[in-house]
Amino acid sequence: MILGNDPILLTPGPLTTSPATREAMLRDWGSWDAAFNRITQSLCTDLVGIVHGDDHYVCVPLQGSGTFAVEAALGTLVPRDGCVLVPNNGAYCARIVRILQRLRIDCVELPLREDEPVTAGALEQAFVREPRITHVAQVHLETSAGLLNPLDEIAALCKRHGKSLIVDAMSSFGALPIDLRAGGIDALVSASGKCLEGVPGMGFVIVKRSVLDASAGRSPSLALDLYDQYAYMKKTTQWRFTPPTHVVAALRCALDRFAAEGGQRARGARYARNCAALIDGMQALGFRTFLRADVQAPVIVTFHAPSDPKWNFADFFAAVRDAGYVLYPGKLTQVETFRVGCIGAIDANEMHNAVAAIGRTLERLNLRVQ
Ligand SMILES: *Cc1c(COP(=O)(O)O)cnc(C)c1O
């Protein structure tokens, strides 16, 4: 893939996009332009299709980064007297807890280690312990470590217990299989700039129509009111406030490329090849992954930092950046780590080259890995 001289972003978003997706932003659109509003409509239709949502689900797009859409979903869909269970195995789960606190919504945390996926058994125990729980807010792929939580099992359990499930699928949507037909999921949140390989700036919530319809007038926020956004768009075909026009145009192109690549399966397979190339190469350099292979999602990989006392992430980052690759700092509370993403418009070749650049950087900085 030809990417010019820009560094390759090995990060979970913003990430390296294709030249075609970037070129799609070279045109200005007016918000009254019917052609633009048809693009928005087509995005929504395609996004629902990716997760096999039928007529019972709608997609509500929202301006802003992914967190805006998470906050909009929680503030709009959870009644004030609801109680949300948050299985917590990382920073994005912790962010959901903070959002709920700001919204003054009752919440129960299920603390887990950062390398420990939630289990249906642990959720079920929490339901028994805390009968006031009405909702579960589940992060599908905890990007903090790259940890995969078992969404299908969680959805089946929520369905059986009559709990409403809201899923942060930010860094899994498009790459990992999610199927709304199995039931159990009321809402799914993601954004333009992750595995769909668009540019950042737009989130979206795929939500059961009946759940959204029941939420009119509930949001304490004007700008983050998902119901109002949906109702206005349905009535006028337009976005409620200034749309992120260039982001929408880029996502249209990115979704066309997604379909041409072969959809979720092909996207997931490419990321899995990237991830395998990355882990194999890094292990050959002496690095160890933080997660066990069976809970590692093929999106971002956390590596233990070198044990060398000279290790300093900022220096390492700058040197690898000079070699053309942008890494990501660790986001774990207990251990010193760094992260390397394997998503974006890149293939296993770029991963091999990135590993080679990391190897040269270790030599240049005279760093021992173990
Ligand atoms: C990226 C991400 C978000 C949203 O983060 P923003 O910085 O607001 O884009 C939320 N949850 C998860 C799991 C993520 O990976």
Residue 339, marked binder: yes
Tell me which of 329 and 99 has the higher pLDDT: 99
* pLDDT tens-digit series, residues 28-47: 999 889 999 999 999 999 99
pLDDT over 50 at 316, yes or no:
yes
> Where along the chain do the CATH 3.90.1150.10 domains lie?
8-13+263-365
92, 93, 151, 166, best to mutate for ligand 1 pocket (most atoms within 8 Å of CB): 92
Q: How confident is the model at residue 288 (pLDDT cuts 50, 70, 90)?
A: very high
Interatomic CA distance for residues 295 and 248, integer angstroms: 33
Nearest of 239, 218, 238 to residue 227 by alpha carbon: 218
What's the token pair of residue 362? 């270790």
Q: Could you give the C-alpha distances from 108 to 76, 82, 91, 157, in angstroms and in order?
A: 19, 11, 16, 17
Q: Which atom of ligand 1 is nearest to the CA of 13?
A: 1
Q: CA-CA distance, 137 to 70, in Å (whole number)?
A: 10
> What tens digit of pLDDT does each residue of 172-213 get?
999 999 999 999 999 999 999 999 999 999 999 999 999 999
Q: Where in the chain is the domain with CATH 3.40.640.10?
A: 19-259
**Ligand 1 binding pocket mutation candidate from 62, 67, 166, 189 (most atoms within 8 A of CB):** 67
Residue 199: how many other CB atoms lie within 10 Å: 24
Q: Is the pLDDT of residue 127 over 90?
A: yes
Domain with residues 19-259, CATH architecture: 3-Layer(aba) Sandwich (3.40)
Q: Is the beta carbon of 92 within 6 A of some atom in ligand 1?
A: yes
User: Is residue 1 predicted with pLDDT exceeding 50?
Assistant: no
Q: Which two tokens stand for residue 285?
A: 């350099």
171 lines ligand 1 (CB under 6 A): yes
d(CA 234, CA 239): 9
pLDDT of residue 333: 75
Structure confidence at residue 13 (pLDDT)? 85
138 lines ligand 1 (CB under 6 A): no
Report the separation in Å between the CA atom of 139 and the middle of ligand 1, taken as the mean of its atom positions. 10
The tokens for 100 are: 């709920």
Position in ligand 1 atom list of the atom nearest CA 141: 13
Nearest ligand 1 atom to alpha carbon 139? 13
- The answer to whether residue 216 scores a pLDDT higher than 70 is yes
- Closest-CA residue to 324 (of 302, 348, 355, 366): 355
Tokens of 289: 């992954």
Q: Which of 62, 65, 188, 342 to mutate to test the pocket of ligand 1 (most atoms within 8 A of CB)?
A: 65
Confidence of residue 4 (pLDDT cuts 50, 70, 90): low
Burial class (CB in 10 A: 0-12, 13-18, 19+), 94: middle
210: tokens are 């009946």
- What mean pLDDT is reported for the chain? 96
Q: What is the pLDDT of residues 222-268, one digit of tens each?
A: 999 999 999 999 999 999 999 999 999 999 999 999 999 999 999 99
Contact 205, 72 (CB under 8 A): yes
* Overall average pLDDT of the 93-98 stretch: 98
Average pLDDT for residues 126-130, to the nearest whole number? 97
Q: Which amino acid is at 160?
A: R
Q: Give the pLDDT score at 98.
A: 98
Residue 129 backbone phi and psi in degrees, to 5: -65, -40
Q: How far is the CA of 194 from the centre of ligand 1 (A)?
A: 9
Phi, psi for residue 148 in degrees, rounded to 5? -95, 125
How much is the pLDDT for 31?
A: 87
pTM across the whole model? 0.97
Query: Would you say residue 315 has pLDDT above 90?
Result: yes
Mean of the pLDDT values across residues 292-321?
A: 96
Q: Rounded mean pLDDT of 303-315?
A: 94
- Tell whether omega for the bond before 14 is within 30 degrees of 0, i.e. cis: yes
Q: Any idea which architecture 8-13+263-365 has in CATH?
A: Alpha-Beta Complex (3.90)
Q: From the CA of 144, how far away is ligand 1's center (Å)?
A: 10
Region 46-51 average pLDDT: 98
Q: Measured in angstroms, how far is the CA atom of residue 198 from the centroid of ligand 1?
A: 14
Question: Has residue 2 got a pLDDT over 50?
Answer: no
Are residues 319 and 311 in contact, defined by beta-carbon separation less than 8 angstroms? no
Atom 4, ligand 1: which residue's CA is nearest?
Answer: 66
